[in-house]
Chains A and B, each alone.
Chain A
Amino acid sequence: MVRGLDGDGAAQNALLSALAPLMRGFFARRMRGAGDDVEDLVQETLIAIHTRRASYDRNRPFTAWAYAVARYKMIDHFRRSRNHVPFEDLEEILVAEGFQDAASAKMDVNVLLGGISPKQARAIRQTRIDGLSIAEAAESAGISEADVKVSVHRGLKALAEKLKGK
């Protein structure tokens, strides 16, 4: 870089050629494919690095300066193309993202309920998660309504204690 600043064209060529693959990697990692955009950004960044090289201070690290230019170019790119995510796929993306959260929440609940007695776990699952009424839960488990209520109560207390103990 410093030799390029001194007006050495061959050194500048070598520098920009060495930076191109680094920048390509930098943008590709952050933009998930979108090949044309990545190459456009690489070129824009190289132009900026070349034309604005006066803003590089020779006493400071060069890579920090170069990547700061690249980061600015990427932010500017996102700002310009705000509708970056195609609208038709949006629903799928949202569903997929929600699924992950829901799945991991379900696993957490299963792990927790596995730690208390099966009768309490079943009562909690039916009345609190599946949305059954006390009467329906009592009928399906073949126990009295009072028993369901007590199981739920004791089960929740046991869960709370387990969570506090963690």
Chain B
Amino acid sequence: MQTNDLIAALAADTRRISPRAAQQRLVVGLGLGMATAAALTIGSFGMRPDLPGALTSTQLWMKAAYTASLAVIAVLAMLHVARPEAGPTRLSWLLLIPVAVLASMSAMELMTTPGEMWMPMWLGGSWRQCSIRVVFLAVPIFAALIWSFRQFAPTNLRRAGAAAGLAAGACSATVYGLHCGEVSATFVLTWYSLGIVAATGIGALIGPRLLRW
């Protein structure tokens, strides 16, 4: 094909692109993914039975704030790596803030609890399932984010995959909060974070394969 013909064919298909197209596409992807994850949570694990009442408990919001702030940082990082000319970003340092806040809450919790209660508090009733479910729910979100990336031009595919994995893991942990009734900060800090880290790692591993263009 001659280059000039190609240019004509491409230019013939010039739709308007909104100035915020990248953000919009990412939001659509996240919305679709999280809706799927929420449907999966309610369908296969069930809502936590005490949910309407628990909406006033600080623990629920503590969990949601932790995972949602990680998700926000991850989305900012994704918008950064979506551009081809993007250099390294310092955004990942921001992740330390929610982790540090939750870690200090966990430390206070441990100090005010007698030592023999530490293990049940740390393991809760669902530590075996928690991380795995977070990774499981991250799958549809990750898939939707990869779809979003089809209009982007990431040049560092590993970093882009890690950012998408982190966003997927953090969002799925937020959604999983609908089901999970664990209340201790120590539990969240360990098992939620483990699931999110696993999702990030998987994203970094398979990102270069899925995101090539």
Contact = CB atoms under 8 A, between A and B. Distances in A.
Interface in A87-116: none
A61 to B, nearest CB: 8
Interface string B1-22: 1011011101110111101011
Contacts of A43: 1, 3, 6
Contact of B153 (A8, A17, A46, A55): A55
Interface residues of B, number: 27
A46 B6 contact: yes
A51 interface: yes
A152 B151 CA distance: 70
B48 interface: no
Nearest to A80: B212
B46 interface: no
Given A43-B1, A69-B84, A71-B155, A54 B10 contact: no
A5 B22 CA distance: 12
A3 to B, nearest CB: 10
A54 B20 CA distance: 8
Contact of A68 (B7, B8, B11, B85): B85
A76 interface: yes
Nearest to A79: B212
Interface in A41-61: 42-43, 46-48, 50-58, 60
A20 interface: yes
B179 interface: no
| Contact-residue bracket for chain A | 35 or more
B155 A68 contact: yes
Given A43-B6, A46-B10, A71-B155, A6 B84 contact: no
Contacts of B213: 48, 52
Given A17-B4, A46-B3, A71-B155, A54 B85 contact: no
B84 A55 contact: yes
Contacts of B209: none
Contacts of B66: none
Given A5-B16, A13-B7, A55-B84, 15 more contacts: A4-B11, A5-B19, A7-B15, A13-B11, A16-B7, A17-B7, A43-B3, A46-B10, A48-B153, A50-B10, A55-B153, A57-B22, A58-B19, A65-B84, A72-B155
16 contacts: A5-B17, A7-B16, A9-B11, A12-B14, A43-B6, A46-B10, A48-B213, A50-B10, A50-B14, A51-B151, A53-B17, A54-B21, A55-B83, A58-B19, A65-B83, A68-B153
